[in-house]
Structure 1
Amino acid sequence: MVFDLSFFTTLIGTTVFLSAPIVLACLGVQWSELSGVFIFGIEGEMLLGAVAGFLTTLATHSLPLGVVVGLATGVGVGLLSGFFEVTLGADQIIFAIALLVIGPSLSSYLYGAYVGGRELSTFSTSIPTFSPAPIPFLSNVPLIGPVFDQPVLVYVVYALVVLTHYFFYHTNLGLKVRSVGMNPMAADSMGTNVQLVRYVVLVVAGMLAALGGMLMVMGGTGFWSDNVTAGRGLIAIALVRVGNWRTQLTLGAALVVGVLLAAVADLQGIFSGGGTVTTTFPYEVFSTLPYLFAIAVIGISYRWTRSNQPASIGRPHLRG
């Protein structure tokens, strides 16, 4: 039987892992947009963080150093975003398009520039990856055990979900960030430094995006491929809107996409001869399922998922 207990056990564990980069991207989008700044270029931020972390690890064979450099890249991109979008008041959509173009192109160029010309027979293009860190007892529980047999970074991702929700809805600082997104002029009149808040938030969002990109390569095969994020950042933008900018709802939507991503490979195996059903049904159709889900759900839910949308999102605030 194809759909036995082992199938669902593997599916659950893989879902938790594959959802993690999307969850990080969703958190980055939420941090930025709740302060009133569009972050449609998060896909580019993920790729820049990923290539920086990957190449550093490839050069030094140190995963921790790779993570640090990747996060530093996220900080740099966040500060650059702040300079253009907050200080200069540049059009946030135009800047996002620039990031979407620069991210894939620059990451591909940097990888090619570093690896190109080297003798591949003596030079490895793979890096060490994060090993699973099983939690005693819990990792042996039937069916859900793989949830607790993940790399440490994956546990950190889901802890960040809890911390983010608590920050925005149970702390004064989180309330200030949301007030900046709702009405920056009123927040300014109450003594909140709107520009500083948005700078800090963009830096945090940049780090989350970079970490999500790094997880795609450092938690997976350890090999680089162009456009390794494969639209995860764009999916995250849609999921945050589906979740009405609320952390718990967005997490649920991200996990559904993770289920689809995890199921794609298994379904491809089943329908191409690896299971009980054999057909020439194209694998690429299965690969589109997560993206079709994001498009369908955001279209269906658009009417009733804007109650928590920041009122001033996309509008620069320049003090006169």
Structure 2
Amino acid sequence: MSRIAGRFARGDPRRRARHLVSGLLSDLPRKNCWTLAEHAGDATPDGMQHLLHRAKWDADAIRDDIRAYVVEHLHDTDAVLVVDETGDLKKGTETVGVQRQYTGTAGRIENAQVAVYLVYSAAHGHAAIDRALYVPRSWTEDPERCRGAGIPDGLAFATKPQLAARMVARALDAGTPARWVAGAEVYGDNPHLRASLEDRRTGYVLAVSSTHPLVTHAGKFQAKDLAARIPKRAWQRLSAGTGARGERGTTTGPRSTFTAQSGASATGACWSAATAEQANSPSTAASHPVWSHCLPWFTWLDGDGRWRRHSRRARA
């Protein structure tokens, strides 16, 4: 806490911030202002609510402090920046950004608030280093509603991939050491995010839908069709490591996939790879494009949790 203490102008918010972090790191079954206040020994949640709603402190500066702290302790040049979203189910309509939308928390469309997070994943651990609240068009196109919720004037709508791209750029611009970016379909299906990473010479493994178009020297294909063109002998099955239920990738699963050259530059070849066409559900299984300017082969996870490897010599 000493690293961020200077971000608070007064002692009371600083003290409550310490209690807030302590409560968030505790094993409380539910975490809200009431339960966090009780954990801190307060009789009411007023202090916690004041900290989060009215107290003056620089949240973005604290974000930068935390990122620097994480990198200082987990520094890894082979680290992965992971973008993902999570949702909080809500009952009302006044919480900023709330609307009926899909959230993985429930696994279905619910009234929820959704945020995108950036995690630094390294050999010695992982931690969140950035966040961005997803504010749907139903909010940004209603200035009166935004003002009523305290949203600054002029907030423009941004998609989840746009939020992710901003966070990744912010981390890399700050000198965060990372070799790869990873994310789910909502990010991989966005060509602008992939292009921005390629422009920065940053590798990625981003899922795409099985119907996502991929361009190769042989033409444009949907990921599921391109996967079907690669012979089984072209693939090597590798372990993805130990998971919560033991060793992953030990049973027969989805068909293997493809790799195809998608471009070239003065500093190296630009390749793409897509995986994981499920034989029993080809229209819904995700694929994973892989891009790198320096690797002679590529590995990635298929839908069964196996790593796949493909040589550069193969062609679609």
TM-score, normalization by structure 1: 0.23
- Structure with bigger RCO (C-alpha 8 Å, 6+ apart): 1
**Whose strand fraction is larger, Structure 1's or Structure 2's?**
2
**Whose helix fraction is larger, Structure 1's or Structure 2's?**
1
TM-score, normalization by structure 2: 0.23
